[in-house]
Structure 1
Amino acid sequence: MSIKVEVQPGGPTGPGAQIAPSWPMLRTLAGIAILSGLLVVLVYQATKPIIAENERILTEQAVFEVLPGAVSKVDFVLTDQGLAPAGEGAVGVTVFAGFGADGRLRGIAFPGAARGYQDVIQFLFGYDPACECIIGSKVLRSTETPGLGDKIDSDPAFLENFVSLDASLNPEGTGLANPIVLVAHGTKTDPWQIDGISGATISGKAMARAANDAAERFVPNIRRDLAKLAAAAP
């Protein structure tokens, strides 16, 4: 394919002359740009349901990981009016009520997120209303540095913080009685504190913020609608 170029009228004609692209060149470049954009859209549309299904499976597996003893779940949605069963036209953030083989409510899993060193880290936390505490945690999505920031999802000592992390409410039931915070390693004195981990301070702080903010948002609604949740056993 040959491409013609034209010298701008009145411009210089020497070695430093500015050469304007001709219409065929512009048309070719525009066609390439349109085709590239179309391919990106088609690939996105083709992979979107696959990605969504993979995320659903990952989240479902995480629910049973953060709620020990749960073998089934019922999805709820947090709306402006409180918790409502999912799939009934309710719009909001999804939480998961987990039930044991005996049909008893084992706990509720809810999402949380906070910015780490690289990007926003997404979590799932398990809450047990019997002890009013967080009993499990799982990183759903993270781009933290392998071997450092990702310790928050793999270090056994650090994960012990989330076996019984106090998330009890204030007397009014409107928020946590004590904020969930990260403290320096070896200085934890209270059940609502998270004992820090070396090499992952920023990620640890993000996890503490995510747990605190998520508990502040979800736990008051869980306590208020606890009877509704317990009665939803599949």
Structure 2
Amino acid sequence: MSEATSHAQQPLPTTPSMAMLRTLGLVAAISGFLVVLAYQITQPMIEENKRLAIERALYQVVPGAVARRDFVLTADGIAPRDPSAELNGVLLYAGYDADGKLQGIALEAAAQGYQDVIRLLYGYDPKCRCIRGIQVLKMAETPGIGDQIAKDPAFIENFRALDVSLNDAGDALRNPVVAVKHGKKTDPWQIDAISGATISSNAVARMLNDSAQSVLPRVHADLEQLTNPQNGGAP
């Protein structure tokens, strides 16, 4: 047998299974550590950016507000939010004027749009029992069509005084918020939809109606906590 033949018949070296498993385990552990580290580093920045975005939006949807205070709505009523405690309820962003008088409340709402979930902040004025404005916080709708819910002046005009008054029992809206075909709005609780973007328009109407039906009766039942905040008063 020639030297070449003998060399060809020699078995190829193999990597021990335990060594491979140790290597894979080490790689997985390092990857997991890096993911956790990246989350811990970026999470405070993400939260701060969200806080600033909501604060900017609040002053747009609550006319006259120059200061804000956060509350939590739970089954027990309304209480000031403790930032160090886990959130267990609905966040209410109360806006106050320079004299500490309540100007309105901003709330988040969301619904499925044409391409993705649309999330917005809307301002509620308890004096007129109406929505005073909306600001889109997250959206991935079709450019030039669905994204007009954040740009179209006529659509935005729907929310200068959108009626969300309660019924006589105070446990639901007197009239549900609905979107109607463009140019067919006849009542103050209706939203004049954007032509060609009915899915996005309907999503806005649906999220506002669902949020208002669920939250506003409970807000009015404990409104004193917002008009005369405890633990130090208005900011």
Does TM-score exceed 0.5, indicating one fold?
yes
Tell me how far apart the structure 2 counterparts of residues 206 and 198 of structure 1 sit (CA, whole Å): 14
Question: Which one of 60, 65, 83 corresponds to residue 70 of structure 1?
Answer: 65
**Deviation string, structure 1 residues 210-230 (Cα, Å, up to 9, x no partner):** 100111122112222222211
Tell me how far apart the structure 1 counterparts of residues 160 and 60 of structure 2 sit (CA, whole Å): 12
Task: Confirm or deny that 1:53 pairs with 2:48.
Answer: yes
Tell me how far apart the structure 2 counterparts of residues 195 and 5 of structure 1 sit (CA, whole Å): 74
Runs of 4+ in 1 over 6 A off after TM superposition: none
Task: Confirm or deny that 1:115 pairs with 2:99.
Answer: no
Of residues 74-83 and 94-103 in structure 1, the stretch that sits farther from structure 2 once superposed is: 94-103
Q: Which residue of 1 aligns with 2:218?
A: 221
Q: Structure 2 length as normaliser, TM-score? A: 0.85
Tell me how far apart the structure 2 counterparts of residues 194 and 115 of structure 1 sit (CA, whole Å): 17
Tell me how far apart the structure 2 counterparts of residues 219 and 86 of structure 1 sit (CA, whole Å): 18
Tell me how far apart the structure 2 counterparts of residues 102 and 46 of structure 1 sit (CA, whole Å): 39
Identity of aligned residues (%): 55
Amino acid at match of 2:194: I
Tell me how far apart the structure 1 counterparts of residues 82 and 93 of structure 2 sit (CA, whole Å): 13
Amino acid at match of 2:197: A
Tell me how far apart the structure 2 counterparts of residues 154 and 82 of structure 1 sit (CA, whole Å): 36
Cα pair 1:5 1:22 within 8 Å, conserved? no
Question: Which one of 128, 133, 143 corresponds to residue 130 of structure 2?
Answer: 133
Tell me how far apart the structure 2 counterparts of residues 153 and 65 of structure 1 sit (CA, whole Å): 13
Structure 1 spans left out of the alignment, 5+ residues: 7-20
Q: Structure 1 length as normaliser, TM-score? A: 0.85
Aligned length: 217
**Deviation string, structure 1 residues 174-227 (Cα, Å, up to 9, x no partner):** 010111011110011111110000232221111111100111122112222222
Q: 1:30 to 1:130 in 2, by over 3 A?
A: same
Q: Which residue of 2 aligns with 1:211?
A: 208
Tell me how far apart the structure 2 counterparts of residues 145 and 139 of structure 1 sit (CA, whole Å): 14
Question: Which one of 82, 87, 90 corresponds to residue 93 of structure 1?
Answer: 90
Q: Which residue of 1 aligns with 2:4?
A: none
Question: Which one of 81, 84, 94 corresponds to residue 76 of structure 2?
Answer: 81
Q: Which residue of 2 aligns with 1:171?
A: 168
Q: 1:27 to 1:227 in 2, by over 3 A?
A: closer
Q: Which residue of 2 aligns with 1:15?
A: none
Tell me how far apart the structure 2 counterparts of residues 221 and 66 of structure 1 sit (CA, whole Å): 21
Structure 2 spans left out of the alignment, 5+ residues: 1-11
Superposed displacement of residue 5, structure 1: 6.2
**Deviation string, structure 1 residues 63-114 (Cα, Å, up to 9, x no partner):** 1110011111221110101111212968322101111123322111111111
Cα pair 1:161 1:194 within 8 Å, conserved? yes
Q: Which residue of 2 aligns with 1:145?
A: 142
Amino acid at match of 2:52: I
Cα pair 1:110 1:218 within 8 Å, conserved? no
Of residues 221-230 and 25-34 in structure 1, the stretch that sits farther from structure 2 once superposed is: 25-34
Task: Confirm or deny that 1:31 pairs with 2:26.
Answer: yes
Q: 1:101 to 1:35 in 2, by over 3 A?
A: same
Superposed displacement of residue 27, structure 1: 4.2
Task: Confirm or deny that 1:192 pairs with 2:169.
Answer: no
Question: Which one of 38, 45, 57 corresponds to residue 43 of structure 1?
Answer: 38
Q: Which residue of 2 aligns with 1:201?
A: 198
